[in-house]
Structure 1
Amino acid sequence: MADTPDILQLSSTWIRILNKMDAMEKCPRDFGSGDLLHCSEIHTMMVIGKRPDINITDLAASLGITKSAISQMISRLEGKNLVEKCRNPDNDKEILLRLTPHGTIAYLGHEQYHAKIYARMQEKLGDMTPGQFRFIATFLGAIEETADEFTQEQP
C-alpha cells in the first residue's frame, strides 16, 4: 500500500490534470467544419457518429447525462446544422439522431485530432509493459469509483 505522502503526490498531480482538462473543455475548437465546438458538443457528436440513429435515451445513458441536458445539446447542434433528428419508422414516437454532412466533417476532424493525441501519448508511453498499463487502468478505475461514490453521497 502506498504511503500517505505518495497518495498526496498522486492527488496533487491528478488535481493539476483535472484543472488542465477543465481549461481545455472551456476552450472551443474548430475541427474543420468552421464551427467552434465545446468538448461537450463534439463528444456528443462523436457518440452519434459512431452510433447513427441512436435515440435520445441511449445517447444520454452513453454520455452519463440527463435526457434534458441531451435535448438542450441536440437543439444547439441542430442550430449549427451539425445534427439532425428524424422519426423512427418503426416507432413514430421515437426520435433518432444522426450527423449532417456538415457534422460529419467535424466528426472526422475530431477523429484526426484524437489520432494526433494518441500518437503523442504512444511516443511517451511506448516502452511500457502490459503490466504497467494494467496498473494504470486499475488506478484510473479506483479514481472513477471514488468519484462515483462521492457523487452519490452528495445531497
Structure 2
Amino acid sequence: MTGQRKKMLESLFRLSRKLFEAMKQPNKFGTDKLLYSSEIHTLEMIGKYPGITVTELADRQGISKSALPKLIHKLIQKDMLYRYQEPGNKKNILLELTNKGRLAVHHHFEFHETFDSGIMKKINSLTPEEYFFLSDLLEELEQYIDHMEQEK
C-alpha cells in the first residue's frame, strides 16, 4: 500500500508540474500579441471591473500594488488596456480594456470553456461521496501548502 500511496503523490506532483508548465506558456488569445498567464488574468479582472483602481486590482488578485505598474505598462504597450485619471481625483488611476483587451478576454473565456469542460466531465461522473472526499482532500492539501509557505 505504501508503494501505491507514493505513486499517487508522484502523480499529484506530475500533475502540478504540468499545470504550472501549461500556465507559463504565452498565448495570443485571438490577438496579435503573446499574453502570459499573469497578463490575461489581469485583463480578465479589469474586464470584470471596468474603471478599477490599481489598489482594488491588487487586492482582488491577492498581489502587492508594487507588482502591478510594470504589468500594466506592458499591457498598455500591447494595446490591451488604457489608464486614465478619475475626474476630480488625480490620485486615482482607473483601468479599462481596449477592444483588443476585450477580444483577448473573450478568447480566454472560450479557452477555459473547452479546457474546463473535460475536467468537469470527470468531476461530474463522481458519486456525491467521491466528490465530497476529493473536494475536502484538495482543500486540505491547499491549506497544508499555505501553512508550509507561511513557515518559510
Shift of 1:123: 2.8
Give, in whole Å, the separation in 2 of the partners of 1:90 and 1:11: 56
Q: CA RMSD in A?
A: 2.0
* 1:7 shift after superposition: 5.2
Question: What TM-score do the two structures reach when normalised by structure 1?
Answer: 0.86
Check the 8 A contact 2:29/2:108 in 1, yes or no: yes
Distance 1:112 1:61 in 2: 26
Return 5+ residue gaps in structure 1 as ranges.
none
Q: Residue 50 of structure 2: SS of its match in structure 1?
A: coil
Q: Secondary structure at the match of 1:37?
A: coil
Of residues 105-114 and 94-103 in structure 1, the stretch that sits farther from structure 2 once superposed is 94-103
Q: Are 1:145 and 2:134 counterparts?
A: no
Alignment of 1:120-131 (within 5 A): 120-131=118-129
Taking structure 2 as the reference length, the TM-score comes to: 0.88
135-144 or 21-30, which deviates more: 135-144
3-state SS, counterpart of residue 125 of structure 2: coil
Indicate whether 1:106 and 2:94 are aligned.
Answer: no
Aligned residues: 152
Q: 1:124 offset after TM fit, Å? A: 2.6
Give the deviation of 1:99 after TM superposition.
Answer: 0.8
Q: Using the aligned pairs only, state the percent identity.
A: 34
User: Which stretch of structure 1 is more off in the superposition, 111-120 or 7-16?
Assistant: 7-16
Matching residue within 94, 107, 118 for 2:92: 94
Distance (Å, rounded) in 2 between the aligned partners of 1:4 and 1:65 = 39
Unaligned runs of 5+ in 2: none
How many angstroms apart in 2 are the aligned matches of 1:75 and 1:128? 44
